Amino acid sequence: MSQTSEHNVDVVVVGCGVAGLSAAVSAAEAGARVVVLERAPRDERGGQSRYTEAYLRMKSETEVTDDFEMQLADNGSGAISPALVAESGQPPDSRARLINTLSLTDPDVIEALATNAGPTVAWMKGMGVRFDFLPTQFLTRSQPRLLPVGGGLALVEALAAKAEALGVRFHYETAAQTLLRQDDGSVCGVVVKTGGQAPRKLMGQVVLACGGFEGNAEMQTRYIGPRSVHLRPICRGGYYNRGDGIRMGLEVGAATCGEFGSFHAEPVDPRSGISEPALFIFPYGVLINKAGQRFVNEAPGTVDAYYERVTRRIYEQDGGMAYVVLDARHMEIPNYRLGIRSDQPPIAAGSIKELAGKLDVPVAQFAATIEAYNKACVPGTWKPLELDGLHTEGLTPPKSNWALPIAQAPFHAYPIMSANVFTFGGLKTDRLGRVLDTLGDAVPGLYAAGEMTGMYYGNYTGSTSVLRGMVFGRIAGAHAAGRPLPGL
């Protein structure tokens, strides 16, 4: 392999998470000269991928879960005519151009993700990554989740080591600013800037894989709204995600996909500064807002399937926060600490009145809310690790499972806010990772992968984001290098 030029390469990858690194390795394996641009310094490389546990919605190392494609399709569009959605199921060459430009997830993209998940896991295993069905932070769950041993950091380190061994060059503390185009409209490179230096050009096919805009307050306000001031990225890596790739794609006429006004929500402790201080313990208590009132069914189903919907209701409350209130029995749940990822201690008290005095709530209203909830709980058998149907009666909103009275001291409370794990809106791509324009054509020379591509509407299909980053990064890198993967 020839030495990579500083200014003229075959493939420029923007972003160094699992999507970007997968693209870089795949392109380099195909013989391409590759440069990776990373906004973070080297010891923080990997974006949000570095910090995630990297759950994969797979029932084995070769197969996705049985509900995989159905769930992605259900969360794959907003309010679009059923006739147009049906037409999107036709082969791409048989559709009207309009279909390829619609803001809905292409069934071909879903099928490509499902089909290539197993081969991509095998590809990662070839780099030394091990996978297993390890304990998760979900005390109850509806689907299996495969995990890389060592989490997302293991993926980042394995991919980066492979890329370096293949001669891929890395430019750290470097941001892409503008896509370069030829007269025929094809993308031929990118203007980049490294901290303290003048902008310069890098020529080559471009793979955008630099995340969403959860680290950009202006874009969050523009798309999600002014209440986004109550959101924060789930981890340090999210602060590097400024929406640059999405902006550059839109500037060259890219079509969009995904719900720009929404994001993947996860319940976290606002007091904590660690990565992902998640609080998945809330189904076993009650959620109370600053007015001292309940506002949501805390336990409509398994926590893995419903935590995002409940967290969105927390985000809607005054100040974007609430408290989960628990009594001593939550500590009887086997491995209950798995559902409490915060490094901050609970706010503890020997009585409800004492606890209320330690929270930012009206004491009398808080006590009345707990009393009303306790009276509404019906007798039954508590089964904390399965849906037990132990519910309330005559209470609005109801609680559908694990409805025990809050009655045994000590009483604990944790503040909860919504983290923005990643934004939903992004560029529309096809099954090859090519960015599509507003006429439904692929933009020559431009690819995208990972969280800056749009896929989700309304609700995140859990444990699919890291998988789509790896799969479509690998696909896009190979295609950008001129050697598409078999079958694509």
Q: What is the pLDDT of residue 369?
A: 98
Query: Phi and psi dihedrals of 419, rounded to 5?
Result: -90, 150
Residue 94 banded pLDDT, cuts 50, 70, 90: confident
* pLDDT the model gives residue 253: 97
Give 363-381 pLDDT, tens digit per residue. 999 999 999 999 999 999 9
CB atoms within 10 A of CB 180: 18
What's the mean per-residue pLDDT of the chain?
95
pLDDT tens-digit map of 322-351: 999 999 999 999 999 999 999 999 999 999
More confident residue, 20 or 97: 20
Report the predicted TM-score, pTM, of the whole model to 2 decimal places. Answer: 0.94
Query: Span 71-89, mean pLDDT?
Result: 91
User: For the residues 314-324, what does the mean pLDDT come to?
Assistant: 97
Q: Is the pLDDT of residue 63 over 90?
A: yes
| Residues 27-39, mean pLDDT to the nearest whole number | 98
Q: Which of 38, 33, 3 is nearest to 19 (CA)?
A: 38
Per cent of the chain over pLDDT 70 is 99
Mean pLDDT across 132-157? 91
State the average pLDDT over residues 297-312: 96
Rounded Cα–Cα distance for residues 53 and 57 (Å)? 13
Q: Where are the domains of the chain?
A: 8-262+424-480, 268-418
Predicted confidence at residue 15, as pLDDT, reads 98
pLDDT computed for residue 5 by the predictor: 40
Mean pLDDT, to the nearest integer, of 239-255? 97
Q: Is 251 exposed, middle or buried (0-12, 13-18, 19+ CB in 10 A)?
A: exposed
For residue 100 the two structure tokens come to: 């390829």
278 close to 307: Cβ distance less than 8 angstroms = no
The yes-or-no verdict on residue 142 having pLDDT over 90 is no
Q: What is the pLDDT of residue 451?
A: 97
**Residue 294 and residue 148: Cα distance in Å, rounded?**
38
Asked whether residue 6 carries a pLDDT value surpassing 70, the answer given is no
Q: What is the pLDDT of residue 144?
A: 86
Mean pLDDT, residues 47-60: 95
Look at residue 3 and tell me whether its pLDDT is greater than 70.
no
Average pLDDT for residues 173-193, to the nearest whole number?
A: 96
Query: The dihedral of CA 215, 216, 221, 226: what is its sign?
Result: positive
For the stretch 251-299, pLDDT in tens is: 999 999 999 999 999 999 999 999 999 999 999 999 999 999 999 999 9
Does domain 268-418 fall under CATH 3.30.420.40? My reply is no
Structure tokens at 484: 């598409």
Mean pLDDT of 157-172: 98
Q: What is the CATH number of domain 8-262+424-480?
A: 3.50.50.60
CA dist list (Å): 110 to 79, 107, 310, 445, 456 = 19, 5, 26, 23, 11
Reported as a single tens digit per residue, the pLDDT across 375-406 is: 999 999 999 999 999 999 999 999 999 999 99
Dihedral sign from CA coordinates of 448, 449, 452, 457 = positive
Three-state secondary structure of the chain: CCCCCCCEEEEEEECCCHHHHHHHHHHHHCCCCEEEEECCCHHHCCHHHHCCCCCECECCCCCECCCHHHHHHHCCECCCCHHHHHHCCCCHHHCCHHHHHCCECCHHHHHHHHHHHHHHHHHHHCCCCCEECCCCCCCCCCCCCEEECCHHHHHHHHHHHHHHHCCCEEEECEEEEEEEECCCCCEEEEEEEECCCCCEEEEEEEEECCCCCCCCHHHHHHHCCHHHHHCEECCHHHHHCCCHHHHHHHHCCECEECCCCCEEEEEECCCCCCCCCEECCHHHCEEECCCCCECCCCCCCCHHHHHHHHHHHHHCCHHHEEEEEECHHHHHCCCHHHHECCCCCCEEECCHHHHHHHCCCCHHHHHHHHHHHHHHECCCCCCCCCCCCCCECCCCCCCCCCCCCCCCCCEEEEEEEEEEEEECCEECECCCCEEEECCCCEEEEEEECHHHECCCECECCCCCHHHHHHHHHHHHHHHHCCCCCCCC
